[in-house]
Structure formats: structure tokens, C-alpha cells
Amino acid sequence: MERPTSGWINGLIGVIIFSGSLPATRVAVQAFDPVFLTIARAAIAGILGLGLLLAFKERRPGRQDLLSLVIVAIGVVVGFPLLTALALQHVTSAHSIVFIGLLPLATAIFGVVRGGEQPKPAFWIFSVLGSALVAGFAISQGLTASPIGDALMFSAIIVCGLGYAEGAKLSRTLGGWQVISWALVISLPVMAVLTMIYWPPTLAGIDAPAWISLAYVSLFSMLIGFVFWYRGLAQGGIASVGQLQLLQPFFGLALAATLLREPVTPVMLLVTVAVIGCVVGARKFGK
């Protein structure tokens, strides 16, 4: 299988896994403090990542890789989970998922800045169009309804885009699952200590859905999803494969409607269908 095709398949698998992150986080923050949820999921994933690195006897990253790993850790291990968890205290997961449509543009921009990629001019037309459709929808819903929630989601998109591009660049030499595992391990000492500090006074009353959601965001959102995602970005190109994130609102809205019974309006679906069309054009001109 050719690398670009393999990259798109791996990227799609990663997007499908990530699509469950916001609905799961929405459920988890009903029972867990958002700060505790962020550090606990990172600590759990960090322990699993450490186990994988030891089991496969992976070599340690070089000194030249440490800064990139710190950026990945700040962007996707701490920044995005914390900011989205805080945002979901103010907005529904269906509303927040729409902001994910801005991730492809953010990832593409950082792919140029940090990854040295040079997509064709037509690529930017499709990427900007897809992001504009998502942003336009958010504005039509009334950003003043929850300016704090929307500001937090926008900030989450920026740090996540940087973390995605930086991790993808490093995956070309270090390997996809190794990058996220080392980023988690670097964060583990701090996350483990903070988990104990923010440990809830009691765990009584926390229901099964909250525990399942914590398990999902720890295992799939923080680790398994990145194994496929970073591999896909490295194989198919950061800017090009990154456009698959435009499909994430579609999967996420479906999950929000079926699992959380949150309202999904016809306008949401219309915007989602429109941005999906942008993926096709962006893929054609991604390199």
C-alpha cells in the first residue's frame, strides 16, 4: 500500500477514535472536576505509555527531540484536554465538536511553520472554506451565549494544532506511537503528583458512565488514537491528512445525539456535510 493511502487510512482511524473524546469528556466532567480529569487521564495514559516503551525496549529520544516532545506534551497531553474539559462546563459537546472543524486549518498552518510543508494554493482555499463554514455556524448560534466556553474551545484548537504538527514531524524519525508515549512519560511525574493533590475527597456516587468515559479518554483519546493519527500525518502529510479532521464533527455529532441525546439541528448537519466536501478538494491539492 502506498504511503499516502496508508496515511489517509491511519488518519481516518485516528479521527474516528478522537470523535468520541468530547462526548466522553462531557459525561466525565459531570462527575469529575475538569482539572482532575485532565491530569488523571494523562497519568493513566502515561503509565500505559511507559509500559509500552519498556516492553518494546525503545531507545530514548535524543536531546534534539526533547523540545518537540515538550511541545507535544503541552499541546495534546495537557493543553487540549484541560481547555476542552473547562469549555464543556459552559457548552454542550455538540456545540464544542463543531469547533473541531477549525483544527485542520490550525494543523495545516503549523505544518508549514514547523513541518516545512508547502501545500498548493488551491489547498488553502478548501481548508479556509471548511474552517469558515464551521466558524460561521458557531457565530450563527450566538457566540455571546457562552463567550467563555467558545474562547476556551478556540484556545484548545490552537494548542492542539501545534501539538499535532510537532508530533507528526517528530514521528518521521521517532515513530508514531513512540512520540505520544514519550510525551506522556515526560508529563508523567508532574501528572502523577497533581493527580494525588487533586484526588477527590470521595469517589462515592460516581456512576459507571463517568468511569467508562474516564477510561475512554485515558486509553483511546490519549494513547491509541495518537498511534494511528501521528502515523497517518507522517505518512500522508500534515496539512493533507489533517483535513480529515473536518470529518470529526460528523462522527462526534452522531455520538452526541445517540449517546447523550443532545439536540443536533439540521443546520449542524448541513454545515457538517458541507465541510466534508472540502476534504476531497483539500486532499487533491495537499502536496
Asked whether 4 and 236 are in contact (CB, 8 A), the reply is yes
Compute the half-sphere exposure of residue 164: CA atoms within 13 Å on the CB side of its CA. 35
Give the count of domains, the chain.
1
Nearest in space to 181 (alpha carbons), one of 216, 212, 214, 224: 224
Residue pLDDT tens, the chain, 287 long = 667 789 999 999 999 999 888 889 888 999 999 999 999 999 999 999 999 999 999 989 999 999 999 999 999 999 999 998 898 888 877 677 678 778 889 999 999 998 888 888 889 998 899 888 877 776 676 555 678 888 899 899 999 999 999 999 999 899 889 999 999 999 999 999 999 999 999 998 899 999 999 999 999 999 999 999 999 999 999 998 999 988 887 787 777 778 777 777 787 778 878 887 887 778 777 66
How far separated are the first and last CA of the chain, in Å rounded? 19
Residue 257 exposed, middle or buried by CB count within 10 Å (0-12, 13-18, 19+): middle
pTM metric for this prediction: 0.87
Q: Which domain holds residue 211?
A: 3-284
Per DSSP, 145 falls in state: G
Asked whether 110 and 269 are in contact (CB, 8 A), the reply is no
Distance in angstroms (rounded) separating the CA atoms of residues 229 and 7: 9
